[in-house]
Amino acid sequence: MTESYQNELQPSQRVLLGAGPSGVNPRVLQAMTLPVIGHLDPEFFQVMDEVCVMLRKVFQTDNWFTLPLSSTGTGAMEAACTNLLEPGSKIMIFKNGYFGVRLADIATRCRAEVISIDLEWGKAVTPDLVEEHLSKHDNIDVVGIVHAETSTGALSPIPEISDLVHKSGALLLVDAVTSLGGHDLKIDEWGVDVCYSGTQKCIGAPPGLAPITLGDRALELIRNRKSDVQSFYFNLKDIETYWNDNRAYHHTSPISMTYAIREALRMLLEEGLENRIIRHDKVASGLRAGLNALGLQLLSEPEYQLNPLTAVRIPDGIADTDIRSKLLRDYNIEIGGGLGDLRGKIWRIGLMGENARESIVFTLLSALEESLDSFGYEVAYGSSLSAAQLTYANY
C-alpha cells in the first residue's frame, strides 16, 4: 500500500481571497524554477542589487538601507523592534487590531517600556488621538503604528501622524505589510523612519521575504545603542554588511524567493506603482458596493477603509465557518475569518496583487450570494453583481 507522502504533491488550485497569501502570477512562479546559484555568487549579488533598486521605487524612498529580510512580515516586525529598542527605550504603540497587539507584545519582549494605547478594533489611528496621547508622555523614543491593520481593514493616515511624532522628538515605526504596493506609501515624503512589509500581499510573490527600509534617524539610533541587539539573526547592522559592497556572510539567502520578489517587483513597475494602487482602489470599491447591496455591513469606517482587505460583519443567524467552508469546498475560494476578539464575527476578504481584479470580484459575489442563500440568508440574486458592475462603470 502506497503512503500518501509517496505520491506527487498536487495542491488544489485555490482563489486566494483571504488576508494573505494572495495569488501568484505564473511569471513569478516560473522565476522560482530558475537554477539555484550560491548566495555569494557575483551573479546573485547583481540580483540582490536589482531587488534593492526596485524596492526603493516601491517604498518611494532614497534610503540606502532598503532590502528584503529572509523572513515573513512578522520577522520584519521583530527585526524592527529588536534593533530600535533595548532596556530603557520608550515606545508608544497604538493597538487598533491584532497586529498592533502583536507589535506591543514583541516590543515588551525587547524589555522596552511600552505605552500601549488600546483602541476599538476597526477604528483608525487618527492624528487627534496621536496628539492627545503624545501630550501625556515625555521622552518617547519610538511611536509604532500599523498603517494597514490586516485584522480589521482599517487604514490610518500616516502623513499627518508623522508630523506629530517628529515634533515630539520620536521616531515613527510603520507596519505596511498589507499596504505596500496597494496604497500610497511615501516613505521619504512622509518622513517614516522605519517601515516593513511582506511579499505575499500586494507585491504578488509567495510568502517568505519581508521588505524593510530604514532612514538616517533610525540608523543613528541603532548605532548609538547602549546594548547589543539581542537577536543574531535579525541584527540589521550585520545583515546590511551582506547586502552592501562588503558582501560579508551572515546567513544563506533564500535564492529562489529572491528570484520571485525580483520578478514580482519587475511586474509591479511594468504596470506602474500608481496604476497598481488605482487598480486596488477600483476593485475594492466594487466589492464594497456588492457587499452593501447584500445588506452586509463593513467593520471599518468608510473614510479609513483599506482597499486590499475588506472586513465585513457576519450577519445574524449565519455561522462563520459554514460560509467559508462552502466557498472553499464548492468554489475553491478562500476568504479569511476574524482574529482575536473578532473571531466568528467578521470575514476578511483580500483583493491583493494578482487577485485584485474585477473578474475575481464578480466570481466571489456570485458564490457568496448562493452560499448565503443556502443557509437561509435572504438574497436578491444578481443584486451584488449589478452594484459592483455599476460602480466599475462609473469609476
- What sections of the chain are H helices per DSSP? 26-31, 42-59, 73-84, 98-109, 127-134, 158-167, 187-190, 216-223, 236-243, 255-271, 273-293, 320-331, 358-374, 383-394
CA distance 349 to 15: 11
Looking at the domain assignment, is residue 78 inside a domain? yes
Total structural domains within the chain: 2
Q: Answer whether residue 192 shows pLDDT above 80.
A: yes
The last residue of a domain, from among 253, 269, 285: 269
Q: What backbone phi and psi angles, to 5 degrees, belong to 292? A: -60, -35
Q: What is the pLDDT of residue 4?
A: 86
Q: Are residues 149 and 127 in the same domain?
A: yes
Q: Are residues 189 and 278 in the same domain?
A: no
Q: Are residues 134 and 257 in the same domain?
A: yes
Grid coordinates in use for 67?
A: 532590502
The last residue of a domain, from among 269, 284, 303: 269
Q: Are residues 256 and 280 in the same domain?
A: no
Q: Are residues 221 and 360 in the same domain?
A: no
Model confidence over 224-280: pLDDT tens digits? 999 999 999 999 999 999 988 889 889 999 999 999 999 999 999 999 999 999 999
Q: What is the pLDDT of residue 246?
A: 86
Q: Are residues 167 and 246 in the same domain?
A: yes
Output the domain CATH number for residue 133.
3.40.640.10
> Of 77-91, 158-172, 235-249, which gets the smallest average pLDDT?
235-249
pTM of this prediction exceeds 0.75: yes
CA distance 178 to 211: 12
Q: Are residues 164 and 283 in the same domain?
A: no
Q: Answer whether residue 1 shows pLDDT above 80.
A: no
Q: Answer whether residue 322 shows pLDDT above 90.
A: yes
Q: Which domain holds residue 324?
A: 272-394
With beta carbons less than 8 A apart as the criterion, state whether 243 and 40 touch: no
Average pLDDT over every residue of 30-42: 96
Q: Are residues 180 and 250 in the same domain?
A: yes
Model confidence over 149-162: pLDDT tens digits? 999 999 999 999 99
The last residue of a domain, from among 241, 269, 297: 269
Q: What is the pLDDT of residue 169?
A: 96
Interior/surface letters 265-303, b for 16+ CB within 10 angstroms, e for the rest: bbbbeeeebeebbebbbbbbbbbbbbbbbbebebbbeee
